Amino acid sequence: AAPIPLGLIESLRSARRICVFSGAGMSAESGVPTFRDALTGLWERFDAERLATPEAFHRDPSLVWGWYEWRRMKMRLAQPHAGHRALAGLERRAAQLTVITQNVDDLHERAGNTNVLHLHGSLEATRCVRCAAPFALPADIPQEPEGGRRIEPPRCASCGGRVRPGVVWFGESLPMPILQPAHDAAAACDVWITVGTSGLVYPAAELPLVAARAGATLVQINPLPTPLDAHYDHVLSGTAAQCLPELFAQERDRASLQ
């Protein structure tokens, strides 16, 4: 990856409040597929827009549940990478680090971050469609469905309603108890680091602009250009597992030099 600008190291070192905004690219090097890179294998000819909707679940609940079981299997087989661990180390060192993620996996938490806001919910937060009671998923890793994709969703223990994934689908609103603190963190941070998102899905994609308007230093980490790059002070073209350890190692070393 390209060398890290000294100005950025200085901004990081003097920052009191840091926000890291992650998308599917943050989990890619852990083996969890992104949305807009071609889906592989079983789900190759499906895309999120067609599966991650209330209509899709109403029309074919077993197909949608099968997709989420496959994603949960991928998540549970995945391990946090060096980029996740660098963020956990930063939380221990930094004055205040808020991780705001669009991802529904638990890799940030498994790496050790404790202040994580899930804008789009979590694969582990299943609930009843009818009475909203949380549904405890079995701890074992879901198996690939025999020869197909459809898995019948479980039924709610208390009311018999159908269980749905605890994620925010296209057309659904983001939970205010998460979006409000994310917005407040964006408006108050000194440095905002976006890593692994295409910046195409709103309102999440609006948050970096909130930070920019509040005067934060903006950093984009992505191997590819994105439509919002022009709003960033620093664009590091590299991957999460490459750039984050490098960024925070230099910030840590420089801090110790003072």
Q: Which residues are annotated as a binding site for substrate?
A: 68, 71
Instruction: In whole angstroms, give the CA distance from residue 155 to residue 137.
Output: 11
Site string for ligand APR, 99-118 (x = CB under 6 A): ---x----------------
Is residue 122 a contact residue for ligand APR (CB under 6 A)? Answer: no
Give catalytic status of residue 118 as yes or no.
no
| Contact between 102 and 167 (Cβ < 8 Å) | no
Instruction: In whole angstroms, give the CA distance from residue 154 to residue 139.
Output: 14
Q: Which is nearer to ligand APR, 120 or 149 (CB)?
A: 120
Name the segment binding ligand APR (CB under 6 A); options: 1-9, 34-42, 72-80, 228-236.
34-42
Q: Which is nearer to ligand APR, 156 or 195 (CB)?
A: 195
How many C-beta neighbours within 10 Å does residue 21 have? 31
Name the segment binding ligand APR (CB under 6 A); options: 11-19, 33-41, 72-80, 158-166.
33-41
Which residue in the list 81, 108, 120, 234 is annotated as catalytic?
120
Q: Mutual orientation of helices 240-257 and 6-14 as an angle, nearest 10°?
A: 70
# binding residues, ligand APR (CB under 6 A) = 23
User: In the chain, how long is the greatest CA-to-CA distance?
Assistant: 62
Is residue 36 a contact residue for ligand APR (CB under 6 A)? Answer: yes
* Rg of the chain on CA atoms, in Å: 19
How many C-beta neighbours within 10 Å does residue 233 have? 16
Question: Which parts of 211-240 interact with ligand APR (CB under 6 A)?
Answer: 222-224, 226, 239-240
Residue positions annotated with a catalytic role? 120
